């Protein structure tokens, strides 16, 4: 089944709560609404794919920020500490099993893996 990303996002109210809209091999395709600042973390075992669909997303890293607008993508290399912030709708791709807060440990921002 095809996924219309805008339609999927329109049904999602929560921020920083990624929802799986599909899979590709052992990867999960997720939509997420970003509002405000997330938490500094790394994924020691995987790169982290971000594609901005609307709004503006800043991926803060210790070496500097990457600012993304609609139609712009960035892959945070595995093990690189980052902290997303902004007001944006985003397509995320990560291996199934990847925890959104990475190595930062469980917190209120840690989200379960769930479908829309």
Residues forming contacts to a second copy in the complex (CB under 8 A) are 1-6, 21-25, 27, 29, 46-49, 51, 53, 66-68, 71-75, 78, 91, 93, 95
CA distances from 107 to 11, 21, 40, 78, 112 (A): 25, 24, 12, 21, 11
Closest distance of CB 35 from a second copy, Å = 20
Cα separation, 84 vs 37, whole angstroms: 6
Among 44, 40, 43, 38, residue whose Cα is nearest residue 18: 38
Between 63 and 108, name the residue whose CB sits nearer to a second copy.
63
Between 57 and 101, name the residue whose CB sits nearer to a second copy.
57
Closest distance of CB 97 from a second copy, Å = 13
Closest distance of CB 52 from a second copy, Å = 9
Between 64 and 106, name the residue whose CB sits nearer to a second copy.
64
Between 69 and 105, name the residue whose CB sits nearer to a second copy.
69
Closest distance of CB 83 from a second copy, Å = 16
């Amino acid at each position: 089944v095809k996924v219309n990303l805008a339609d999927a996002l329109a049904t999602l109210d929560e921020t920083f709560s990624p929802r799986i809209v599909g899979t590709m091999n052992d990867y999960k395709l997720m939509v997420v609404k970003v509002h405000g600042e997330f938490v500094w973390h790394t994924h020691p075992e995987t790169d982290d794919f971000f594609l901005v669909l609307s709004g503006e997303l800043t991926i803060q890293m210790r070496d500097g920020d990457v600012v993304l607008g609609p139609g712009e993508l960035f892959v945070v290399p595995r093990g690189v500490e980052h902290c997303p912030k902004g007001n944006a709708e985003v397509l995320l791709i990560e291996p199934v099993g990847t925890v959104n807060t990475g190595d930062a440990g469980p917190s209120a921002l840690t989200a379960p893996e769930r479908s829309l």
